[in-house]
A and B are shown apart, each in its own frame.
Chain A
Amino acid sequence: MRERRTRLAAVLAAGLLPLSACGDAGNSYDEGSGPDVEVEEQDFEAGTRMAELQEAGSVKIGVKYDQPGVGFKTATDDAPSGFDPEIGKILAAKLGIKAEDIEWVEAVSANREPFLQNGTVDFVIASYSITDDRRKVVGQAGPYYVTGQSLLVAKDDDSINGPDDLKGKKVCSVTGSTSIKTVEEEFGATPAGFDTYSECVRQLENGSVDAVTTDAAILLGYAAENPDELKVVGEPFSEERYGIGYSKDSPELCQFINDSLTSAFEDGTWAEAFDATLGKGGADAGDPPTLDECA
């Protein structure tokens, strides 16, 4: 545990270096390695959820706390870091809300829909794949990023090079997270369930499981944290389209999210946010994805 913490501190410290180097500390947090997003006041139609949020001056956003590079926060951090929180800051800025006025809420996979339905959060940006079934109960705009299910294995393990090698292997997946169904049904892997990704990775490091499976984006974050022991192998074997969740009570949010994402795609803040977070693990942002039309 101690060792892990030291490593984490090292990673965080490394993340801070470019920030101090660029000399523009401004009003950002100390953890903020993402782009400085300009806060803008827009004229929203009265009565819309956007106008309400702008009026309130704060927004509640649900993100993951246990996915380095995607959404990550330790108990001592003031605010989460990662690609998802950066997207949240971009969205908040479009509502005229500064990054420090965002109220971050930890979302785990199973509570994302209830959070939106009960109004616990205004947006869920938590490696939240768009699916038809989810769209029955909540709104999902985007995608703002497309990734795919992949495999994380020990660096010195040559026996697993892709999903086809998983037969009879112990594969870790998080309870209620990216489905282990595919590797189980199509590739014959034995599932091992855990509460958190960090626990999965710990079990991989000490050899109790052979691989960890989930979205490539999340795995790359862990591989980047510990490049001497872990590696991501094979091509992604599914398509996960990360969307931004909002309540079905406010359908007008969809167009707002799409417009905000489009402008972030165009003015480069999206790519900057990516490079400052997931990009550090060696991933390439590529072209921005094509957004789904709002109904």
Chain B
Amino acid sequence: MDFSFLQDSWELLLKGFWVTLRVFFASGLIALVLGTFVAVARVSPVPAMRVVGTAYVTLFRNTPLLLLLFITYYGLPAMGIDFGFFWNVSLAAGLYTAAFVCEALRSGINGVPLGQAEAARAVGMPFTMTMTQVILPQAFRLVVPPMASVFIALAKNTSLVAALGLADLAFRLQGLLRDYPSSRTAAFLTIAAMYIIIVAAISLVASWAERRWKVESR
């Protein structure tokens, strides 16, 4: 197998890697913050909040990501809202992934024994405080493995943005296929390896977090 194209292209590949990383972090941050809010809304005592939360998850979890990308990419600018290519697509990936973050986190919230919330309320904590001080810290450490899966899926989903104005890893792959048709297999393997690097890093962080926040057995 011929990897000689790397000599000419490593710089461009690194640039593509960087773009992929940036989209991942931007959309990941949106997903984490928004997903947490939606999860809290779904378990809140206010019925209207629960409805909104459920509607959000139903809408965004059941819509293909590509469709969402088109909506933020074509739809928002058509309505006069344009954040530029990068944020338009990061927003779509973030909104989509937030629904999955919410559901993963909700299973964690439900896994925290009910007595915890009751005890918090008994000492007079309001709902938000109960959540932020008692429930969420325990919920997050319960859901590290499913959360890692959600973010791994996000990392790979970012490859859809290659057609929407960003020169990410998938875009670079297309360029390699064009310029080096004799090394196609090598080109595919190279790009795959770069995605694996991102995913492996997520897994590492996840297993570190799991060890760090391990729930002591009682």
Contacts and interface: CB of A to CB of B under 8 A. Distances in A.
Interface of A: 109-110, 112-113, 131, 133-134, 136-138, 172, 175-177, 179-181, 184-185, 191-195, 199, 203, 206, 208-209
Which of B171, B175, B182 has the most chain A CB within a 10 Å cutoff? B175
Contacts of B118: none
Contacts of A134: 181-182
A254 B24 CA distance: 48
A203 B181 contact: no
B177 A176 contact: yes
A65 B84 CA distance: 28
B174 A175 contact: yes
Nearest to B178: A176
B167 interface: yes
Nearest to A206: B77
Interface string B153-177: 0000000001111111011001101
A254 B84 CA distance: 47
A156 B167 CA distance: 27
Closest 7 CB pairs of A and B: A176-B174, A175-B174, A136-B182, A193-B171, A191-B167, A195-B163, A113-B181
Contacts of A194: 163-165
A179 B181 contact: no
A179 B11 contact: no
Contacts of A172: 165
24 contacts: A109-B174, A131-B179, A133-B181, A133-B182, A136-B182, A175-B162, A175-B174, A176-B175, A176-B178, A180-B167, A181-B12, A181-B175, A181-B179, A184-B12, A185-B12, A191-B171, A192-B165, A193-B162, A193-B165, A193-B168, A194-B164, A199-B163, A208-B165, A209-B165
Contact of A175 (B85, B175, B179): B175
Given A179-B178, A193-B168, 5 more contacts: A136-B181, A175-B170, A175-B171, A193-B171, A195-B163
A110 B179 contact: no
B19 to A, nearest CB: 9
Contacts of A203: 165
How would you classify the secondary structure of chain A's contact residues: helix, strand, loop or mixed?
mixed
A133 B167 CA distance: 23
Contacts of B180: 133
A176 to B, nearest CB: 3
B69 to A, nearest CB: 12
A137 B181 contact: yes
A185 B181 CA distance: 21
Contacts of A133: 179-183
Contacts of B167: 180, 191-193
A110 B165 contact: no
Contacts of B166: 192-193
B182 A179 contact: no
B85 A192 contact: yes
Nearest to A116: B181
A110 B178 contact: yes
A6 B14 CA distance: 43
Contacts of B85: 192, 208
Nearest to B88: A208
Which of B11, B178, B184 has the most chain A CB within a 10 Å cutoff? B178
Nearest to A132: B182
